[in-house]
């Protein structure tokens, strides 16, 4: 009986072991299948990622090309606009210069007409060298030998009007005419100063400096001298000549320490 039980238990154990072995084998197969699916999914995912990155790189490349093309187009458009603006300014300057020449010619013709009329009147009054008739009292006809007077302030006012309206090229012509024709006039220093300001506004800093130097050389004690010093320093700094510009501003502070321009110079030096 005991032997039978042992045999029975042994048989049951073998059966159970066989079943467990089959279950383990089946689980191992399922695990292997799952591993293969995971591996296949990973390969597909990697491939999909590569395609996505490739598409992204292509899109980014195309986008970069479009951006570069747009930037080039904008730059070309800006260059063309700048050229058109320069051409318009040049044309405007020529028109204004022509207008000024026409105005001056008209004034000269008017003056010539007045002077010629006076001469004709003198001749009709008998002032020729031969057979002329003297006026009572021996006086000469009015206007003989007297040049007509043109108010220099008209030239200055025209120049200043051009300056305030931003017509700097024409203002320079008028101011230079004023300084040349009326160097001792009351507004000569102002005219010379505004020549510098006009060149400064046009960005022609070297010419502006030359104009301001004339103010400092010819009118060193004028109230415009500190301003000329200041703008000369600014012009040098705008040209990238920081050492020279700094020296000019320091000289301004030394010469005119109590002026508003000296305070502005200190502020500018502090910002460098």
Rounded to 5 degrees, φ, ψ at 247 are -65, -40
d(CA 236, CA 244): 7
First to last CA, the chain: 114
* Span 220-240, pLDDT tens digits: 999 999 999 999 999 999 999
* Span 193-210, pLDDT tens digits: 999 999 999 999 999 999
Q: Which one, of 136, 115, 134, 118, lies nearest residue 126 by Cα?
A: 134
- Give residue 134's pLDDT: 40
Q: Which one, of 263, 228, 8, lies nearest residue 236 by Cα?
A: 228
Spell out the residues 6+ positions from residue 199 whose beta carbon is closer than 8 angstroms to its own: 168, 172, 205, 207, 208, 211
Q: Does the global pTM surpass 0.85? A: no
d(CA 57, CA 66): 14
pLDDT of 139 strictly over 60: no
3-state secondary structure of 206: helix
DSSP 137: G
Tell me the two tokens of residue 210: 């030359």
């Amino acid at each position: 009986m005991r032997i039978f039980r042992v045999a029975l238990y042994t048989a049951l154990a073998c059966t159970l072991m066989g079943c467990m072995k089959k279950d383990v084998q089946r689980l191992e197969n399922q695990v292997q299948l799952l591993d293969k699916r995971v591996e296949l999914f990973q390969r597909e995912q990697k491939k999909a990622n590569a395609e996505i990155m490739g598409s992204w790189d292509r899109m980014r490349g195309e986008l970069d090309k479009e951006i570069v093309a747009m930037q080039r187009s904008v730059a070309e458009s800006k260059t063309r606009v700048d050229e058109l603006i320069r051409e318009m300014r040049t044309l405007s300057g020529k028109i204004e210069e022509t207008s000024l020449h026409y105005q001056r010619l008209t004034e000269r013709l008017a003056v010539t007409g007045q002077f010629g009329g006076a001469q004709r009147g003198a001749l009709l009054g008998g002032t020729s060298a031969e057979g002329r008739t003297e006026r009572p009292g021996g006086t000469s006809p009015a206007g003989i030998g007297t040049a007509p007077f043109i108010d220099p302030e008209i030239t200055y006012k025209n120049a200043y009007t051009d300056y305030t309206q931003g017509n700097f090229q024409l203002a320079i012509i008028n101011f230079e005419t004023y300084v040349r024709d009326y160097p001792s006039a009351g507004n000569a220093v102002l005219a010379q100063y505004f020549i510098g300001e006009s060149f400064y506004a046009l960005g022609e800093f070297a010419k502006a400096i030359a104009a301001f130097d004339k103010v400092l050389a010819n009118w060193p004690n004028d109230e415009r001298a500190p301003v000329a010093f200041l703008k000369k320093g600014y012009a040098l700094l705008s040209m990238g000549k920081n050492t020279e510009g700094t020296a000019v501003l320091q000289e301004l502070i030394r010469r005119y320490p109590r002026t508003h321009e000296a305070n502005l110079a200190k502020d500018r030096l502090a910002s460098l």
